């Protein structure tokens, strides 16, 4: 086993062993161990140990079971529904509990070759790659606190590592949300980059017209709500060069009990627009208190590994795969709503690579 992986295991032995089912894990990994080791695990004296001590012994022993043992352990955690253990080892939780410790983990794999602009591929080579704004409402006047949502901030750190420049805002009133979004849409520097990203994480509700309303920190004013349509339409005439992509990631509870799923109504001026949201009829946007909202967890995991060589369409399927993994741990259902408006090209992020001599136009 690699020394770095061995250290990760040893640093987290206690945390890995909490709420870990020894029999499930051993059953998944028994082909890695010798018959003598298996007999020891099944001995009367060993079986008298607590579940946590048995798991700790297994995690210590697996460090001697070959170069692929760490990878096999990760796969075992996924297969047996031990999502917490899986996340501890893959970087979402390195033994610290503060936001900064997770922020440090968000490093994206860099591309080896630039996907050049063409009739079928967006130009994505500017430096910076684009600008983003992230509004994350966690505490409200009357609505429940979104515990764990402070960890969604790590998505902003990942975007920075992908070459974006942006700002993060927490617990904003309706007035301040509208002001921040309008100021971002009017930003002159958008004319110098190849893309923009708007990320919002909050409570939400679907109105009678089946439009998604986004809650501000001063709760939801249904007489004058912030609609997803309104947010997207602010960027119809922004300074981003014509033909360049706009990406909207909106994480908000939907709770559309009647099962209808059309939460945004397309406007004719929406061009080169991508919209991502967590969605399933009659459910809310799921969140783990320990790790944050499912949408941003999945975006981070997928973008870290695959933005280097896959386009956004390809990655959307991997995001749904992540939701499936989270389901096995929590038994909550969530799928990804992925809409494209006026899109006729593939969107590659090309992290780490820039074309200094090219203008931002497509």
Q: Do 330 and 182 have their domain in common?
A: yes
Burial class (CB in 10 A: 0-12, 13-18, 19+), 211: middle
| Interval 139-198: pLDDT, tens | 999 888 888 888 888 898 899 889 998 888 899 999 999 999 999 999 999 999 999 999
Query: Which residues face 300 on adjacent strands?
Result: none
Q: 351 pLDDT band (50/70/90 cuts)? A: very high
Percent of the chain with pLDDT strictly greater than 90: 46
Q: Check residue 350 and give left, alpha or beta (phi > 0: left; psi -120 to 50: alpha).
A: left
Percent of the chain with pLDDT strictly greater than 70: 82
Q: Do 82 and 192 have their domain in common?
A: no
Q: Do 226 and 309 have their domain in common?
A: yes
Distance separating the N- and C-terminal Cα atoms of the chain: 47
pLDDT at 358 > cutoff 70:
no
Q: Do 77 and 222 have their domain in common?
A: no
SS3 232: helix
Beta-carbon count within 10 A of 7 CB: 12
Instruction: Give CA–CA dist 145/139, Å, rounded.
Output: 5
The predicted pLDDT at position 331 comes to: 63
Instruction: For residue 361, tell me if it sits in a domain.
Output: no
Structural domains counted in the chain: 2
- pTM flag (> 0.75): no
* Closest residue by Cα to residue 91 from 315, 349, 304: 304
Higher model confidence: residue 100 or residue 33? 33
Instruction: For residue 180, tell me if it sits in a domain.
Output: yes
pLDDT at 60 > cutoff 90:
yes
Look at residues 90, 122, 156 and tell me which one is the last residue of a structural domain: 90
Q: Do 208 and 310 have their domain in common?
A: yes
pLDDT at 347 > cutoff 50:
yes
* Closest residue by Cα to residue 12 from 75, 91, 94, 111: 94
Instruction: For residue 355, tell me if it sits in a domain.
Output: no
Ranges 40-49, 73-82, 112-121: which has the least confidence: 73-82
Q: Do 67 and 174 have their domain in common?
A: no
Q: Do 257 and 327 have their domain in common?
A: yes
Q: Do 176 and 310 have their domain in common?
A: yes
Q: Do 211 and 80 have their domain in common?
A: no
Q: Do 86 and 148 have their domain in common?
A: no
* Closest residue by Cα to residue 238 from 284, 283, 269: 269
| Interval 10-57: pLDDT, tens | 988 888 888 788 888 898 898 999 999 999 999 999 999 999 999 999
Residue pair 319/251 in contact by the 8 Å Cβ criterion: no
Domain that holds residue 190: 130-341
Look at residues 38, 61, 90 and tell me which one is the last residue of a structural domain: 90
Q: Do 154 and 227 have their domain in common?
A: yes
Nearest-5° Cα angle at 349, 345 to 354: 110
CA atoms within 13 A on the CB side of 269: 10
Instruction: For residue 110, tell me if it sits in a domain.
Output: no
Instruction: For residue 121, tell me if it sits in a domain.
Output: no
For residue 245, give the CATH number of its domain.
3.40.50.1460
Instruction: For residue 195, tell me if it sits in a domain.
Output: yes
pLDDT at 261 > cutoff 70:
no
Q: 360 pLDDT band (50/70/90 cuts)? A: very low
Instruction: For residue 216, tell me if it sits in a domain.
Output: yes
Q: Do 134 and 50 have their domain in common?
A: no
For residue 34, give the CATH number of its domain.
1.10.533.10
pLDDT at 317 > cutoff 80:
yes
């Amino acid at each position: 086993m690699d020394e770095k992986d061995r250290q990760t295991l040893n640093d987290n032995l206690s945390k890995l062993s909490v709420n870990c089912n020894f029999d499930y894990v051993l059953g998944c990994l028994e082909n890695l161990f010798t018959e003598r080791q298996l007999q020891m695990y099944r001995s009367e004296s060993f079986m008298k140990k607590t579940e946590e001590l048995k798991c700790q012994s297994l995690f210590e022993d697996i460090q001697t079971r070959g170069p692929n043992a760490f990878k096999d352990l990760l796969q075992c955690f996924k297969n047996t529904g031990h999502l917490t253990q899986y996340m501890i080892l893959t970087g979402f939780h390195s033994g610290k509990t503060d936001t900064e410790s997770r922020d440090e983990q968000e490093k994206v794999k860099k591309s080896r070759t630039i996907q050049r602009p063409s009739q079928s591929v967006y130009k994505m080579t500017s430096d910076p790659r684009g600008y983003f704004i992230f509004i994350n409402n966690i505490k409200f006047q009357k609505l429940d606190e979104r515990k764990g949502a402070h960890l969604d901030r790590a998505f902003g750190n990942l975007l920075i590592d992908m070459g974006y420049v942006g700002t993060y805002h927490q617990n904003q009133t309706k007035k301040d949300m509208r002001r921040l979004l309008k100021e971002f849409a009017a930003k002159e520097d958008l004319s110098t980059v190849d893309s923009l990203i708007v990320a919002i994480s909050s409570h939400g509700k679907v109105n009678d017209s089946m439009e998604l309303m986004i809650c501000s920190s001063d709760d939801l004013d249904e007489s004058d709500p912030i609609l997803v349509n309104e947010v997207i339409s602010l960027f119809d005439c922004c300074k981003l060069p014509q033909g360049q992509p706009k990406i909207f990631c909106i994480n908000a509870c939907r709770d559309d009990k009647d099962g209808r799923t059309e939460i945004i109504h397309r406007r004719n001026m929406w061009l080169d627009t991508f919209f991502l949201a967590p969605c399933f009829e009659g459910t809310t946007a799921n969140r783990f208190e320990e790790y944050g909202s499912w949408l941003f967890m999945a975006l981070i995991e997928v973008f870290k590994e695959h933005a280097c060589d896959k386009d956004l369409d390809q990655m959307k399927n991997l995001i749904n795969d992540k939701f499936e993994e989270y389901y096995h741990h929590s038994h909550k259902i969530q799928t990804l709503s992925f809409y494209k408006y006026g899109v006729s090209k593939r969107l590659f992020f090309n992290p780490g690579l820039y074309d200094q001599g090219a203008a931002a136009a497509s």
